[in-house]
Chain A
Amino acid sequence: MFIKRALLSSIVLATALASTAFAQAGRDYISIVGSSTVYPFTTTVAEQFGKGGKFKTPKVESTGTGGGIKLFCEGVGAQYPDVANASRAIKTSEIDSCRKAGVKDILEVQIGYDGIVLANSKKGQAFKVSRREVYLALAKTVPDPDNNQNLIANPYKTWNQINKTLPADKIEVLGPPPTSGTRDAFVELVMEAGCSTFGWVKSLKDVDEARFKKVCDTVREDGSYIEAGENDNLLVQKLVANPKVLGIFGYSFLEENASQVQGSLIDGIAPSFENIASSKYPVSRPLFIYVKKAHIGVIPGITEFLTEFVSPRSMGSEGYLAGKGLVPLSASEFAKVRKTVGAK
């Protein structure tokens, strides 16, 4: 008898629980989705904002830039996110799909820069490479050294085959998988820049962009480039274990692990805080957050959250985000961003 009653009551309870979900209408916390690169910064602001005590701590999901913007663009209403983190600017195709779903007004806020570094263990020699050399080391097909116009399968096995001054070690680079925003940025800023140093490839860009992308963006698959997953901590550990291997990851991880790994000089410029902030370092990218204007005033706290985000104590050059590895905007850019947000 007891079992029968327990069974019945638990079924009743379960259905009652399930039905509470449908009563959900508004939302009293900000919902943020998007890039895993921006995640550490947005979460820090969210936490500070939550400690202010007036509003609940925003919820931040790490979905990747593309996935985040897709969710963000699904519509207007409490079940859709209010803010999207992005490690690249929003694409026109994404703005179009946003518009189709009724998301018309989007506020773009640039929050700072991130540098992508090529690093190795401190036990090894510091690397000095150009973007052209990195391209030659990692592309699937490269221009034939004998006849520049020909493309051949990448013949380089060791670094000194590309440039005699580089070490005679096997080319082995650990980097992010294609789903990652870091990979997108690396391909665009290093691979495309490197292969554009070949005149005819560069002119290809205007004539046949698809072929240009194929030549420049395709990374070799013969074991010299190793996809290391999205976990950058693991990558750092692997670099420490093998001093001859290079790794590709975001600047904040280099800063945090400066006692174990060193950044390579790219085109003669070291990946330092100052060089990234002044855009001297060639492999840096802007980071953004996108805000749905239709949600401002509907979901409580969005304006206040933005004010906290663009305040000097967070985004400023001495702010707490700089402490987390964000490379801040220049003074004039910062003033401009503050103006667009409407912060006093």
Chain B
Amino acid sequence: MSKTVAQTRALVEKSLRRRRLAELRFQAYGIAAVSIGVLFVILLFGSIIAKGAPAFRQAYVTLDVFIDPEVLYPDGTVDTELLATADYVALVRGSLKQRFMDVEGRAATRQLVELVSGSAVQDLQALVQADPKRVGTHQMLTFLADDKVDQYLKGNITRSTPEVDRSLSDQQLDWVDALKASKALELRFNKVFFTHGDSREPEQAGVWGAVVGSLYTLGVTLLLSFPVAVATAIYLEEFARRNRWTDLIEVNINNLAAVPSIVYGLLGLAMFLNFFGMPRSAPLVGGLVLALLTLPTIIIASRAALKGVPPSIREAAIGMGASPIQTVLHHVLPLAMPGMLTGTIIGMARALGETAPLLMIGMVAFIVDVPGSLSSPATVLPVQVFLWADSPERAFVERTSGAILVLLAFLVLMNATAVILRNRFERRW
């Protein structure tokens, strides 16, 4: 007997080393897989943040502008009506020429004015029209600098490139350096990026229009998909009898969750636009399409949450005399709600990142005005990223990454909410 025990022991000890090594190897594979994943995430975020961070700063130029009555009231008559059509470019030009006295000739003056963004004219007009008493005074005003100046300050345009190959001439660079030396030109927080809609001029382009469009669209999606999905889940889980029909519906819902999103876009185009005649590019239609897209996800999550509520809760409620609807609404639903909300938020996060279905219903569009209603034309954040990625201007490269950062911030926020909801309210049995 003792001999066999010793033999067995020897046998086990012999194989033990091999088994331990196998386990170590397995662990090593796992660690390698995880670290490769982490590495890629770091690379991705690192490159986006490195590229996108400069977008949050923008070159501003401060000028001493003389609001010349001779330019605004060319006839000498003081008439505030004239302020709407006056030549404000002349004021900006005058101010720059005052700063650089030696500039002469049309071409040189044009180059000089190019350093300031076109939005300076609108800013100036708004300022003068808001208070016509400012006419005849000197004002220290801060304007957006042109995107090329901005790129030069950020080091994306360098003096070492031959003059013909860069968008700023040697003389323009000299002016920029002079302005910079006198602290009239500096990088500041890019407020425009967070308050304006799209623009073809990079320095005037912002994500706010797309953010509002995304909020409207997701608002519609949430209002439609959440109640419908919860009602569907409750009915299927708590009331429907198991038969061929409910099985069929269940299979279909699971399949719909895997349908490529562009298909929903085609459905939206055929149904909402062509059949119901709803407006193109409207957040309302976008919301409807995305609601269809997220419904299956939320239904599946909600059913899982309902399944997680132990039957004893239902039996106790029925035993105390509650009707089936009271059982569900007073006892089962509140307990399943955290799970349902988590599923909803994850579904909404997916909807936030969608572009393909929106392409079909015209939300991939250039829209300057921040949308004001559910039927006004709008675009969404991922579409804004797509449109900027395709723009030729160099300054849009960093704005693309900047918009991605804003989108990521929203996604992280939504997913964090889901995690917090789950941790705080989820009950375990």
Residues of A within 8 A of B (CB): 1, 3-4, 7, 10-11, 13-14, 17-18, 20-22, 24, 27, 29, 31, 33, 36, 39-40, 43-44, 46-47, 50-51, 56-57, 59-63, 79, 81, 122, 230-234, 252-253, 255-259, 324-325
B273: interface (CB < 8 Å): yes
Measured CA separation A1–B331 after assembly (Å):
11
Residues of B within 8 A of A (CB): 122, 157, 161, 164-167, 199-201, 220, 223-224, 226-227, 230-231, 272-273, 276-282, 284-285, 288, 329, 333-334, 337, 362, 364-369, 374-375, 377, 387, 389-394, 397
Check B122–A17 contact: CB distance below 8 A: no
Check A20–B392 contact: CB distance below 8 A: no
Report 19 cross-chain contacts, Cβ distance below 8 Å, ordered by A residue: A10-B223, A11-B227, A14-B223, A18-B284, A21-B272, A21-B375, A22-B276, A31-B280, A31-B377, A36-B390, A40-B391, A50-B368, A50-B369, A59-B366, A59-B377, A62-B387, A233-B390, A258-B165, A258-B166
Query: Total A-B residue pairs with C-beta atoms closer than 8 Å?
Result: 125
Check B200–A47 contact: CB distance below 8 A: yes
Chain A residue, CB-CB nearest to B224: A14
Check A57–B392 contact: CB distance below 8 A: no
B361 to chain A, nearest CB (A): 10
Measured CA separation A252–B277 after assembly (Å):
37
Check A44–B377 contact: CB distance below 8 A: no
Question: A325 — which chain B residues lie within 8 A by C-beta?
Answer: 392
Question: B157 — which chain A residues lie within 8 A by C-beta?
Answer: 259
Interchain CB contact (< 8 A) of B276 among A21, A56, A257: A21
Question: A22 — which chain B residues lie within 8 A by C-beta?
Answer: 276-278
Question: B389 — which chain A residues lie within 8 A by C-beta?
Answer: 231, 233-234
Given known contacts A24-B375, A256-B392, is B369 in contact with A62 (CB within 8 Å)? no
Question: B167 — which chain A residues lie within 8 A by C-beta?
Answer: 256
Question: A4 — which chain B residues lie within 8 A by C-beta?
Answer: 329
Check A61–B281 contact: CB distance below 8 A: yes
Check B278–A21 contact: CB distance below 8 A: yes
Interchain CB contact (< 8 A) of B390 among A21, A57, A230, A259: A230
Question: B227 — which chain A residues lie within 8 A by C-beta?
Answer: 7, 10-11, 14
Question: A46 — which chain B residues lie within 8 A by C-beta?
Answer: 366, 368
Question: A24 — which chain B residues lie within 8 A by C-beta?
Answer: 277-279, 375
Chain A residue, CB-CB nearest to B375: A24
Question: A255 — which chain B residues lie within 8 A by C-beta?
Answer: 392
Task: Give me 15 other A-B pairs in contact (C-beta within 8 A), A20-B374, A61-B364 excluded.
Answer: A1-B329, A3-B337, A4-B329, A17-B223, A21-B278, A21-B375, A47-B201, A57-B368, A62-B390, A232-B392, A253-B392, A256-B394, A258-B166, A259-B165, A324-B200
A216 to chain B, nearest CB (A): 29
Centre residue among B165, B282, B334, B364 by max chain A CB count within 10 A: B165
Given known contacts A17-B220, A21-B282, is B392 in contact with A60 (CB within 8 Å)? no
B220 to chain A, nearest CB (A): 6
Question: A122 — which chain B residues lie within 8 A by C-beta?
Answer: 165
Question: B397 — which chain A residues lie within 8 A by C-beta?
Answer: 233
Measured CA separation A56–B230 after assembly (Å):
40
Check B226–A10 contact: CB distance below 8 A: yes
Measured CA separation A11–B272 after assembly (Å):
19
Check B366–A252 contact: CB distance below 8 A: no
Interchain CB contact (< 8 A) of B334 among A3, A50, A62, A256: A3
Check A60–B365 contact: CB distance below 8 A: yes
Interchain CB contact (< 8 A) of A3 among B122, B282, B329: B329
Question: A259 — which chain B residues lie within 8 A by C-beta?
Answer: 157, 161, 165-166
Measured CA separation A259–B334 after assembly (Å):
62
Question: A57 — which chain B residues lie within 8 A by C-beta?
Answer: 367-369
Chain B residue, CB-CB nearest to A258: B165
Check A79–B280 contact: CB distance below 8 A: yes
A239 to chain B, nearest CB (A): 14
Measured CA separation A11–B227 after assembly (Å):
7
Question: B165 — which chain A residues lie within 8 A by C-beta?
Answer: 122, 258-259
Check A29–B392 contact: CB distance below 8 A: no
Check B277–A29 contact: CB distance below 8 A: no
Question: B231 — which chain A residues lie within 8 A by C-beta?
Answer: 7
Measured CA separation A237–B28 after assembly (Å):
37
Given known contacts A20-B284, A51-B122, A230-B390, is B365 in contact with A62 (CB within 8 Å)? yes
B107 to chain A, nearest CB (A): 10
Question: B278 — which chain A residues lie within 8 A by C-beta?
Answer: 21-22, 24
Given known contacts A43-B200, A233-B389, is B281 in contact with A13 (CB within 8 Å)? no
Given known contacts A3-B333, A14-B227, is B366 in contact with A21 (CB within 8 Å)? no
Question: B122 — which chain A residues lie within 8 A by C-beta?
Answer: 51
Check B392–A233 contact: CB distance below 8 A: yes
Measured CA separation A56–B365 after assembly (Å):
15
Measured CA separation A257–B391 after assembly (Å):
12
Measured CA separation A3–B281 after assembly (Å):
33
Question: B393 — which chain A residues lie within 8 A by C-beta?
Answer: 256
Measured CA separation A179–B392 after assembly (Å):
20
A262 to chain B, nearest CB (A): 9
Chain A residue, CB-CB nearest to B362: A61
Question: B329 — which chain A residues lie within 8 A by C-beta?
Answer: 1, 3-4
Interchain CB contact (< 8 A) of A47 among B166, B199, B334, B391: B199
Question: B367 — which chain A residues lie within 8 A by C-beta?
Answer: 57, 59
Question: A44 — which chain B residues lie within 8 A by C-beta?
Answer: 200
Measured CA separation A61–B279 after assembly (Å):
14
Centre residue among A14, A27, A44 by max chain B CB count within 10 A: A14
Measured CA separation A122–B162 after assembly (Å):
12
Measured CA separation A11–B291 after assembly (Å):
13
Question: A256 — which chain B residues lie within 8 A by C-beta?
Answer: 167, 392-394
Check A27–B200 contact: CB distance below 8 A: no
Check A79–B273 contact: CB distance below 8 A: yes
Check B161–A13 contact: CB distance below 8 A: no
Measured CA separation A339–B276 after assembly (Å):
40
Measured CA separation A252–B390 after assembly (Å):
12
Centre residue among B122, B276, B329, B392 by max chain A CB count within 10 A: B392
Measured CA separation A324–B281 after assembly (Å):
26
The 6 closest A-B pairs by CB, nearest first: A60-B366, A57-B368, A256-B392, A61-B365, A43-B366, A59-B377
Question: B282 — which chain A residues lie within 8 A by C-beta?
Answer: 21
Question: B285 — which chain A residues lie within 8 A by C-beta?
Answer: 21
A189 to chain B, nearest CB (A): 21
